[in-house]
Amino acid sequence: MRAASKRKTALRLTFKEAAALYIETHEAGWTGKRTAHDWRQTMRDYAEPVIGAFDVADIETDHIVSILKPIWTGKHKTARNVRSRIENILD
């Protein structure tokens, strides 16, 4: 499959599908046993309620801000993890 065609297909994925695919693809290389669990939990609890059903191509900065804003002060470490994980999934 050509790179442009792969990108088109990837952009049709919902965020929830892209997150599951990212975790599935990378979890074998993660050293901690809880890493995949933590990724799934933070995506399920914070990202998926807001952007889970959105196509990856339709996700905007404002969507990410709306996920992070409520937790940035009280759960700063969690917010940083969520932001980083969303960034990895979308890249």
We report the CATH number of the domain holding residue 7 as 1.10.150.130
Could you give the number of structural domains in the chain?
Answer: 1
Range of the domain at 84: 3-90
Would you give the DSSP letter of residue 1? -
Half-sphere exposure of 69 (CA within 13 A, CB side): 7
Amino acid at 22: Y
Convert the pLDDT of each residue in 46-75 to its tens digit. Answer: 999 999 999 999 999 999 999 999 999 999
Confidence tier at 1 by pLDDT (50, 70, 90): very low
Neighbour count for residue 47 (Cβ, 10 Å): 23
Q: Provide the pLDDT for residue 24.
A: 95
Would you give the DSSP letter of residue 32? S
pTM of the model as a whole: 0.85
